[in-house]
Amino acid sequence: MASKTSKSGQNGEQHPETESTEAQFPELTVQAEGTANRLRRVDESSQTDCLETVEVELVIEHEIDSLDEWKDLIDPTFRKNRRTGNKGAIIDGLLDRVEGHYRRQSSSKVEADWDLTVTGSSVAWRRLFMEFYQLRGEGYDRAAKTVIRLRQLVNADLAGTNAALAALELVNQYDIDGATDSLVSEVAESTSAE
């Protein structure tokens, strides 16, 4: 980050001015809706610890501000033949950002019954992987890796139409060979629903 100092006022004091040289992180938002078990103490004045579990419906919308937060919250494991992202762990990360104490979703034997999506424009999805991730290679190689990651997020139902569009745009721009059926299907479903 660049920093400048400038003279301010008549007393000759110097005040730092900051000028951002870093690109702004793409606008991506996690949206989650589901049921959670909220834990609360029954009697604050009692010497006996007693917690009550209350089932609550929650709708959470959280804007991701940085690549570190993306990695911390979504934490996708981009491995072939493996599940991309742990839904319960993502819900836990969101619940940690909400006031109150909630039962962990990732330690439950039953998979979390939540609607969970990361939304953003197709430009935001492209920028996330092409500019912010430290993917090895240049041009075609980075684009091919980005397409794989976007496809995995779409197939895991963590990302929707705009992520699929971003991947298809990269496929066309860099003439990438690979399966695009799930991406085309996602876009077709979205347009037929309108």
Is residue 149 within 8 Å of residue 76, measured between CB atoms?
A: yes
Question: Does the pLDDT value for residue 156 go beyond 60?
Answer: yes
- Rg of the chain taking only CA atoms, in angstroms: 22
Question: Does the pLDDT value for residue 184 go beyond 90?
Answer: yes
Q: What is the average pLDDT value for the chain, to the nearest integer? A: 83
For residue 30, give Cα distances in angstroms to 12, 39, 109, 117. 47, 24, 24, 6
The CA dihedral of 76, 127, 91, 98, to the nearest 10 degrees, is 140
Q: Please report the pLDDT score of residue 45 as a whole number.
A: 79
Pairwise pLDDT comparison (74 vs 34), residue with the higher score: 34
Query: What number is the average pLDDT over the span 108-131?
Result: 89
pLDDT band with cut points at 50, 70 and 90 for residue 51: confident
Pairwise pLDDT comparison (82 vs 192), residue with the higher score: 192
Query: What number is the average pLDDT over the span 77-92?
Result: 76
pLDDT band with cut points at 50, 70 and 90 for residue 80: low
Is residue 147 within 8 Å of residue 164, measured between CB atoms?
A: no
Is residue 158 within 8 Å of residue 116, measured between CB atoms?
A: yes
Pairwise pLDDT comparison (23 vs 132), residue with the higher score: 132
Question: Does the pLDDT value for residue 64 go beyond 90?
Answer: yes
Question: Does the pLDDT value for residue 1 go beyond 90?
Answer: no
Place of tokens 């110097």: 14
Share of the chain above pLDDT 70, in %: 82
Q: Please report the pLDDT score of residue 86 as a whole number.
A: 80
